[in-house]
Each structure stands twice: as structure tokens, then as C-alpha cells.
């Protein structure tokens, strides 16, 4: 693996804590589709999951029109109030600044529709700290594998020169299927067990720890591998 030249960050659950806004929007979509309102833990497990997959996990036979109606109900709440119920995780700004200072290109790579992701980045004032955003279309059918592949092309780096930082198994799978190193964001919505089972072997407990281990360390990923072997 070469020196890291680009770092792709998931948005929800990695750069931004959007839990409250996403949960309220999901509940509105469930109500519209007559899905019995699940408990908080059940809702939380879907954070960071594309909406069509969320809806069909409850109602597998939903038509495309039903899925679109559910997404519209979600967006009616999310774009009005949910999107603003959003804040950066501690240490994110310092992490992005450190990457820029060391010549590492940073991109947001998210299953969220790209216009929404762009709005969130501007609202949280991190748009000036990233190279760009690779997000899903409004139908949210893009896989993380598709998105990471597009990010590699946009960043113009080889897979071995990039890392994908995310909190859900989709991020890990999307990275591995593009031969990109995944790093588990343990401060987000997912769990260590979920990420490890998907194939992740690099982890950070916080944005600050990621900055210190993977950006500022002279040995980078080699240092983490060596430490794990001791």
C-alpha cells in the first residue's frame, strides 16, 4: 500500500451526528407507509442505510411507487427541519484541516442524495475543507461500491493510495470491493462487530484518534498494523 493521498469520509455517523433529524424523518416515512412505528433501537439500526432498503426490510413487496412515496414523506420532514438537527462530531474540523495540510485530498462519499449532502456540508461549514462530494441520486439506488469507485476517479488516485472512513458495513464493503482500505469510525452509528464482520481491520475511536493515527503519524497504516501484531 502506498502513502495515503485521498481520504473518503461518509457523512451521517462519521462527519456529522444527524441521528435526531434522521429518526424524526424516518418516523414520518413509516407513518406514511403504514409501517408500525418501531422502537428507538430498531430505528437507529437503519441510520446510514439507503431508504429503499429500509422500507423493504419491513414491507418486501413495496412497489417502486410506494418506495418513492415513502422517500417523499421522509424528505418533507428532513428538508424542513431534520437537516438542521445536525452537528459535527468533535474533532472533525481539525481532522479535515490536518489532512489538507499534509496534502491528503478529502472527499465526502455518501449514500445520501448529493444535493442534500452538499447542503449539509455548507450548513456545517466544512465545504471549504473538502475537495468535493460524491453522493447518491435521488432514487438512492447507488451502492457504496459505485460511489467509492466514482470517488477514486474524481480524486485521480490509485486504490492503494486511498482510505474510506465510515461507520456502517456498507462503507467497508464499498471500500473493499474497490481495493480501498476501510477504516471503521467507532464514534458513529455502527458497531465494532458490524464493521469487523464486513472485513474492516483498521479502527478509530474518535475523529481525533483518526487524525493522530492515520494522518499525522509518519508511519500511517504501517504503524497501526505493526501495533496490532505486537
Of 69, 84, 99, the last residue of a domain is 84
d(CA 145, CA 18): 23
Q: What is the pLDDT of residues 163-188, one digit of tens each?
A: 999 999 999 999 999 999 999 999 99
Residues 115 and 208 in one domain: yes
pLDDT of residue 44 exceeding 90: no
Residues facing 188 on adjacent strands: none
DSSP state for residue 18 in the 8-state scheme: -
In the chain, how many domains are there?
Answer: 2
Query: Phi and psi (nearest 5°) for 16?
Result: -125, 140
**Residue 147 pLDDT > 50:** yes
What CATH number did the domain enclosing 25 receive?
1.10.150.240
Contact, 173 vs 199, CB < 8 A? yes
**Are residue 114 and residue 187 in the same domain, yes or no?**
yes
What's the pLDDT tens digit per position in 206-217?
Answer: 999 999 999 998
Which cell goes with 120?
A: 449539509
| pLDDT band with cut points at 50, 70 and 90 for residue 101 | very high
Q: Are 79 and 97 in a shared domain?
A: no
Q: What is the pLDDT of residue 226?
A: 35
Cell numbers standing for residue 202: 483498521
Judged against a pLDDT cut of 80, whether residue 146 lies above it is answered with yes
In the sheet that 6-9 helps form, which strands lie side by side, from edge to edge?
132-136, 105-113, 6-9, 162-166, 181-185, 202-204
Minimum mean pLDDT range among 77-86, 92-101, 137-146, 213-222:
213-222
Can you give the CATH number for the domain in which 169 is found?
3.40.50.1000
Q: Are residues 92 and 72 in the same domain?
A: no
Q: How far apart are CA 117 and CA 123, in angstroms?
A: 10
Q: Which carries the bigger pLDDT value, residue 47 or residue 99?
A: 99
Final residue of a domain: which of 28, 56, 84? 84
pTM listed for this prediction: 0.86
Output the pLDDT for position 39: 76
Average pLDDT over residues 25-35: 91
Clarify whether residues 26 and 124 are in a common domain. no
Could you tell me the residue range of the domain that residue 158 belongs to? 6-17+86-229
pLDDT of residue 96: 98
**Boundary of a domain, candidates 35, 57, 84:** 84
Residue 90 and residue 44 share a domain: no
Residue 38 has pLDDT above 90, yes or no: no
Amino acid at each position: 500500500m502506498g502513502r495515503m493521498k485521498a481520504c473518503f469520509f461518509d457523512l451521517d455517523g462519521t462527519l456529522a451526528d444527524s441521528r435526531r433529524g434522521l429518526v424524526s424523518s424516518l418516523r414520518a416515512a413509516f407513518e406514511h407507509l403504514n409501517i408500525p412505528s418501531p422502537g428507538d433501537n430498531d430505528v437507529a439500526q437503519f441510520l446510514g442505510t439507503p431508504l429503499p432498503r429500509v422500507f423493504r426490510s419491513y414491507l418486501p413487496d413495496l412497489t417502486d411507487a410506494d418506495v418513492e412515496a415513502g422517500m417523499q414523506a421522509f424528505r418533507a420532514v428532513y428538508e424542513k427541519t431534520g437537516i438542521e438537527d445536525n452537528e459535527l462530531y468533535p474533532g472533525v474540523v481539525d481532522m479535515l484541516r490536518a489532512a489538507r495540510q499534509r496534502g491528503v485530498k478529502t472527499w465526502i462519499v455518501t449514500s445520501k442524495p448529493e444535493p442534500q449532502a452538499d447542503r449539509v456540508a455548507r450548513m456545517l461549514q466544512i465545504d471549504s475543507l473538502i475537495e468535493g462530494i460524491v453522493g447518491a441520486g435521488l432514487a438512492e439506488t447507488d451502492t457504496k461500491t459505485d460511489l467509492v469507485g466514482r470517488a477514486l476517479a474524481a480524486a485521480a488516485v490509485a486504490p492503494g493510495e486511498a482510505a474510506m472512513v465510515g461507520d456502517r458495513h456498507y462503507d467497508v464493503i464499498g471500500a473493499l470491493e474497490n481495493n480501498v482500505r476501510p477504516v471503521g469510525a467507532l464514534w458513529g452509528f455502527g458497531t465494532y462487530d458490524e464493521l469487523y464482520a464486513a472485513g474492516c481491520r483498521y479502527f478509530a475511536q474518535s475523529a481525533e484518534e483518526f487524525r493522530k493515527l492515520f494522518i499525522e503519524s509518519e508511519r500511517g497504516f504501517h504503524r497501526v498494523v505493526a501495533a496490532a501484531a505486537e
